[in-house]
Amino acid sequence: MPEDDPEPADVETVEERAYRREDWYGEEFTARRFVRCEFHEVDLTEAVTRGVTFLDCVFGNVQFNASRHTDSAFTGCTFTRCNLFDTEFTGCKLVGSRFGECDLRPMRITGGDWSFVGLAGADLRGVTFQGVRMREADLTKANCGGAVFADVDLSAAELEDIDLTRAELRGSDLSSLDPTRASLAGAIVSSDQASVLVTSLGLQVRG
């Protein structure tokens, strides 16, 4: 689970503050740290964060539309009924965060650590995860039809009843995927991944 990262000396820190109905459209945030803060009905449309940390924060009905986040951290955070349409995360850390009733598509995640993230039942159709660490992430019953999981570490992830129809899965760790508990029609895998899936079904491949 997420740990409290040490606070850099040159970062402005805000603790236990509630923000409501703030208009931060297109704002840029750098070298900021928010600890146990709450954000309700805040407009972060087209906002940009670089090296910003949100630790154990709550986001409710926040608009993240078309926002861009680079090398930022949202660890142990809760997102409820937020809109992340066309949001991009690059090299970000979301360890232990939870998403509920959020609009998450389309969204693009490149690099970073999303281990232990809670996305159970999420609509992730067409979402792209590229080179992301998602160890022990909860994707139970998530709809990932047409999504891209390229070079993603899904080891020990919860993947029961996940829909991966037509998903791109090459390069990802599928060791925790039970083919009998997932929809995989049209999914794209490599020959090595196919061997892993066949083995998980108890079959033997012989030349």
Q: What's the first-to-final CA gap in the chain, in angstroms?
A: 44
pLDDT band at 80 (very low <50, low <70, confident <90, very high): very high
Rounded CA gap, 176 and 160, in Å? 9
The whole-chain average pLDDT of the chain stands at 93
The per-residue pLDDT for range 150-165, each reduced to its tens digit, is 999 999 999 999 999 9
Rounded CA gap, 40 and 42, in Å? 5
Rounded CA gap, 206 and 193, in Å? 16
Contact 183, 163 (CB under 8 A): yes
What is the predicted pLDDT for the residue at 48? Answer: 98
Options 1.10.238, 3.30.60, 1.10.10, 2.160.20; CATH for 1-103 is 2.160.20
The per-residue pLDDT for range 98-129, each reduced to its tens digit, is 999 999 999 999 999 999 999 999 999 999 99
Mean pLDDT for 41-57 is 98
CA distances from 83 to 16, 93, 96, 104, 150 (A): 23, 19, 19, 7, 24
What is the predicted pLDDT for the residue at 173? Answer: 95
Exposure pattern of 80-96 as b/e (b: 16+ CB <10 Å)? Answer: eebbbbbbbbbbbbbbb
> Where are the CATH 2.160.20.80 domain residues in the chain?
120-191
Neighbours of 189 (CB within 10 A): 20
The per-residue pLDDT for range 2-24, each reduced to its tens digit, is 445 545 557 899 999 999 999 99
Counting Cα atoms < 13 Å in the Cβ hemisphere of 5 gives 23
Options 3.90.1150.10, 2.160.20.80, 3.40.50.300, 1.10.1660.10; CATH for 120-191 is 2.160.20.80
Tokens of 36: 């146990």
